[in-house]
Structure 1
Amino acid sequence: MIIRRLGVMSVAKISAIIAAVVGLLAGILFFLVSLAGGAAGAMSDNDPGMAWVSGLGAMAIVVLPILYGVFGFIGGAIQAFVYNLAAKFVGGIRIETE
């Protein structure tokens, strides 16, 4: 079996979903780190105004999956397009199955 052509939109959609899930995980991690940093800053006598940092983490849970999804869509479309161009010259990817 040889993959000679990829559907650009189908690859772009799958890439967007995968990237959005990675973005959600990154957003959750950013939230946890900023929550700890905001709490530590709020408890500090030196800079009690750092409590707002935890709000950035909450925003990251929403913003990062969207940004990752958009850039994943664009990246997937570009990769599929370039693959289609390259496959014309080299014949595509050969896959052996049982």
Structure 2
Amino acid sequence: MSMPPANPYGSPTVSTSDITYVGSQRRSRKLKRIEPISLGLMQGALFALMGLIPVILFVFMAIVSGVGGAMGGPGNPMSATLVGGVIGSILAPLIYGVMGFIGGFILALLYNFCASFLGGIEFEFEE
């Protein structure tokens, strides 16, 4: 049985001129391009997860202000406050995610533009 190639797509991922070996332990590669949709999706997902942090605050404030408002007088402001907290809890991660996607997409486009002039970022890996 033969071993499958290291790169299943068959095309070289980095040209051989970009790889330098120092003592056969380190190699250097350049990041020349970032796929905008890929970075946008990743950053959008990360920002949506970070958007869950304010959800805890929204729910806590809704409960505290709802209980405090219910003691104040006639009517039931607690339900309105809880509904506002639930809406904020749903919208916060959604808005963070959308803004993260847009920001990541624009960042990748700007990186690709600058990398076309400057050559990209050089990374050094150790095996």
Q: What TM-score do the two structures reach when normalised by structure 2?
A: 0.68
Q: 1:20 aligns to what SS in structure 2?
A: helix
Question: What's 2:113 paired with?
Answer: 85
* Higher relative contact order, structure no. (Cα contacts within 8 Å, ≥ 6 residues apart): 1
Greater strand percent: which structure?
2
Correspondence 1:1-98 to 2 at 5 A: 1-45=29-73, 50-51=77-78, 52-98=80-126
Q: How many residues align?
A: 97
1:31-57 deviations in whole A, cap 9, x for unaligned?
212221221122234x86542222211
Greater helix percent: which structure?
1
Q: 2:125 aligns to what SS in structure 1?
A: coil
Gaps in structure 1 of 5+ consecutive residues: none
Name the Cα RMSD after superposition: 1.7
Q: 1:97 aligns to what SS in structure 2?
A: strand
Which 4+ residue blocks in structure 1 deviate beyond 3 angstroms?
A: 47-50
